[in-house]
Chain A
Amino acid sequence: MNHDNYSDNYIRSILNTVKTIAMVGISPKENRPSYFAFKYLLDRGYRMIPVNPGQTAKPILKQKVYATLSDIPEPVDMVDIFRSSEHVLPIVEESLRLTPRPQVIWMQLTVRDDEAASLAEKVGLKVVMNRCPKIEYGRLSSEISWIGVNSRTLSSKRAQNLGTGLQRMSLGKSDKKDAR
């Protein structure tokens, strides 16, 4: 897997497949990027589970906070890592011990650990590094175009509304042949 460049279909197929996302390292402060991403994905219909050992006393956006991934009592489809690169490896190792295993490990913008990525890929997980799922969702749904960002996508088909509000768009269908 080339982790310098991901095809739009690879990213789209991940965001179209996963339903439950555990965000490791979320901040309860509403001006932090992790809070932004968590709230945005929650608002797009994902089941979002906050993971932060220092923040278990109070829910974040009404979602119960767990200290570790292993504490989560339900299956997780994707682990989204909001920690700096040096903290990634133990989080990936813990993810791989979960039953059932998650399908996707996602590392946020500026976060990258190739060794941890290959561990996960060896047992069949998909990995995305140095990307933000909020930005990628916004880009592939065309929502991000509203703020003048170059989505690097062209289409003669119109973007589809998500159906939960006028300014929430869906990702569109994944093209199966190029999902990998």
Chain B
Amino acid sequence: MPDAERTPGFATLSIHAGAKPDPTTGARVTPIYQTTSFVFDDVDHAAALFGLQTFGNIYTRIGNPTCAVLEERVAALEGGTAGLAVASGHAAQVIVMHALMTPGDELVASKKLYGGSINQMNHSYKNFGWNVVWADPDDLPSFEKAITPKTKCIFIESIANPGGIITDIEAIAKMARKAGVPLIVDNTLATPYLCKPFDYGADIIVHSLTKFLGGHGNSIGGLIVDGGTFNWSRDKKYPMLSEPRPEYQGIILHETFGNFAFAIACRVLGLRDLGPALSPFNAFLVLTGIETLPLRMQRHCDNTLAVAEWLSKRPEVLWVSYPGLAGDKYHKLAKKYSPKGAGAVFTFGLKGGYDAGVKLVSSVKLFSHLANIGDTRSLIIHPASTTHRQLSDAQKVQAGAGPDVVRLSVGLEDKEDIIADLEQGLSTK
């Protein structure tokens, strides 16, 4: 590849970023380095590795060459400075918060998040002394109002799960900048093929690799991308980055690692000590998935628009919430943030309410009734009886998961077959 003369396109990066041939064997596809540990060249090399003075591999809980290819791949696709792969999307969120928050601190988060994230922030974070303050992406000033001197970050989803809500990233990024806190965007549902949050002022991106990046429903994984944009040393708010670290003989991470210091902090403090490392085998499967990301995402979006348009004309259907539809409330935001398509996950409401939802998920034959999204297969779920069951009724409605709501993750099958399955499901008495 000629060096700086050409900036490679998205499809090229999806295949090549991070994945030069294996330096030892010449293997062209990234090998699965299924090993716990890596031998040191000598005692001095070992000391330099443990002291963060050189780049290299020690132990797969801290880093692994297969996982590293995945980290660089996603960092390149998002336009970030560095990545860190972890065991799940949930682990990515905890590791990010661990680098930013101390007991008594607050985060401001969109109340329209994936139900699992709402649970994590409402309940698990309490044990760390991290307090979530909810804001409403449909009422932008609510974010500004939620910010206090204790606020350490703002957390949103680019395309929210499950409601098909597009968040105004740029407007919220401006508020974050004014408050001097980083904006974290969960870009799972959009993937960098549809939306690039760093272009709109995000500072950190998190992913569940489990969904469209991996894309085949075979591996759980998560990834953190450092945008390299945030000044961690402006004040003493982020001691993991701006203060000498007792874990590493007094190193100051921001000063030492510059614009990829946040990713390093997540690795050498968060992942090292909390431990949710990604298996190299899962990294390999996700890497294979990413090679076809642009092809798959476009087909996912095209199929989804066709299904959403068909559903919106059905007598059994009360409403369809898909930002790709011309009349949708979020259509204008979708045109700005996700112009190639509004993703493949959306919800619709059945006139028959809770019982009709249960009946539909029970009668489909091609759609699989399960909790995941972002698979080659079409998936269906009735959130009120499953993923969002733990939330109160008010929280369910707030999260777009009321009793009549059905969520689809439209797959890569022929769209005629997908629609035919929904038709027979809706017609079943």
> Which chain B residues lie closer than 8 Å to A31 at the CB level?
244, 248-251
Question: Within 8 Å of chain B (Cβ to Cβ): is A167?
Answer: yes
CB distance from B72 to the nearest CB of A (A): 5
22 A/B residue pairs, CB under 8 Å, sorted by A: A6-B4, A8-B4, A30-B53, A33-B256, A36-B53, A39-B53, A109-B258, A143-B56, A144-B55, A147-B55, A148-B75, A149-B81, A150-B81, A151-B18, A154-B8, A161-B23, A161-B24, A167-B38, A167-B45, A167-B49, A167-B57, A169-B23
A147-B258 in contact given A154-B16, A158-B23 (Cβ < 8 Å)? no
Tell which of B62-70, B92-100, B147-155, B324-332 binds the partner: B62-70
- Choice from A39, A148, A164 contacting B83 with Cβ under 8 Å: A148
Question: Within 8 Å of chain B (Cβ to Cβ): is A155?
Answer: yes
A147-B248 in contact given A153-B1, A165-B41, A167-B45 (Cβ < 8 Å)? no
Given contacts A6-B4, A31-B248, 18 further A-B contacts (CB under 8 A): A5-B4, A30-B249, A31-B244, A31-B249, A36-B53, A142-B23, A147-B267, A148-B75, A150-B72, A150-B75, A150-B81, A150-B83, A158-B21, A158-B26, A159-B23, A167-B45, A167-B49, A168-B41
Question: Within 8 Å of chain B (Cβ to Cβ): is A93?
Answer: no
CB distance from B162 to the nearest CB of A (A): 30
Q: Are B53 and A148 in contact (CB-based, < 8 A)?
A: no
Question: Within 8 Å of chain B (Cβ to Cβ): is A94?
Answer: no
Report the bound CA distance from A138 to B4 in whole Å. Answer: 17
Q: Are A150 and B55 in contact (CB-based, < 8 A)?
A: no
Question: Within 8 Å of chain B (Cβ to Cβ): is A160?
Answer: yes
Question: Within 8 Å of chain A (Cβ to Cβ): is B42?
Answer: yes
> Which chain B residues lie closer than 8 Å to A148 at the CB level?
63, 67-68, 71-72, 75, 82-85, 263, 267
Report the bound CA distance from A178 to B2 in whole Å. Answer: 10
Question: Within 8 Å of chain A (Cβ to Cβ): is B116?
Answer: no
Q: Are B250 and A7 in contact (CB-based, < 8 A)?
A: no
Report the bound CA distance from A1 to B124 in whole Å. Answer: 53
CB distance from B245 to the nearest CB of A (A): 9
User: Which 9 interchain pairs have the tightest Cβ spacing?
Assistant: A148-B71, A165-B41, A8-B3, A158-B21, A154-B1, A7-B4, A167-B56, A150-B75, A149-B82
CB distance from B283 to the nearest CB of A (A): 11
Question: Within 8 Å of chain A (Cβ to Cβ): is B20?
Answer: yes
Report the bound CA distance from A148 to B56 in whole Å. Answer: 10
Q: Which A-chain residue is minimally distant from B77 (CB atoms)?
A: A150
CB distance from B393 to the nearest CB of A (A): 42
- Choice from A9, A35, A145, A165 contacting B3 with Cβ under 8 Å: A9
Question: Within 8 Å of chain A (Cβ to Cβ): is B169?
Answer: no
Question: Within 8 Å of chain A (Cβ to Cβ): is B199?
Answer: no
Interface residue tally on A, bucketed by range: 35 or more
Question: Within 8 Å of chain B (Cβ to Cβ): is A156?
Answer: yes
CB distance from B269 to the nearest CB of A (A): 14
Report the bound CA distance from A135 to B16 in whole Å. Answer: 21
Question: Within 8 Å of chain A (Cβ to Cβ): is B337?
Answer: no
> Which chain A residues lie closer than 8 Å to B48 at the CB level?
39-40, 43
> Which chain B residues lie closer than 8 Å to A144 at the CB level?
55
Max count, chain B CB within 10 A of own CB: residue among A9, A148, A153, A155: A148
Report the bound CA distance from A136 to B194 in whole Å. Answer: 31
> Which chain B residues lie closer than 8 Å to A151 at the CB level?
18, 72
Report the bound CA distance from A39 to B55 in whole Å. Answer: 12
> Which chain A residues lie closer than 8 Å to B80 at the CB level?
150
Q: Are A158 and B75 in contact (CB-based, < 8 A)?
A: no
Report the bound CA distance from A43 to B82 in whole Å. Answer: 24
Report the bound CA distance from A109 to B260 in whole Å. Answer: 13
CB distance from A85 to the nearest CB of B (A): 16
> Which chain A residues lie closer than 8 Å to B53 at the CB level?
30, 35-36, 39-40
Report the bound CA distance from A132 to B218 in whole Å. Answer: 40
- Choice from A138, A147, A165 contacting B68 with Cβ under 8 Å: A147
Question: Within 8 Å of chain A (Cβ to Cβ): is B22?
Answer: yes
Chain B stretch 251-268: residues in CB contact (< 8 A) with chain A: 251, 255-256, 258, 260, 263-264, 267
> Which chain A residues lie closer than 8 Å to B71 at the CB level?
148
Question: Within 8 Å of chain A (Cβ to Cβ): is B399?
Answer: no
- Choice from B21, B49, B72, B76 contacting A157 with Cβ under 8 Å: B21
Question: Within 8 Å of chain A (Cβ to Cβ): is B353?
Answer: no
Q: Which B-chain residue is minimally distant from A148 (CB atoms)?
A: B71
Q: Are A7 and B55 in contact (CB-based, < 8 A)?
A: no
Question: Within 8 Å of chain A (Cβ to Cβ): is B17?
Answer: yes
CB distance from B293 to the nearest CB of A (A): 16
> Which chain A residues lie closer than 8 Å to B63 at the CB level?
146-148
Question: Within 8 Å of chain B (Cβ to Cβ): is A123?
Answer: no
Encoded as 1 (CB less than 8 Å from any B CB) or 0, chain A from 57 to 95 comes to 000000000000000000000000000000000000000
Question: Within 8 Å of chain B (Cβ to Cβ): is A114?
Answer: no
CB distance from A1 to the nearest CB of B (A): 14
Q: Which B-chain residue is minimally distant from A161 (CB atoms)?
A: B23
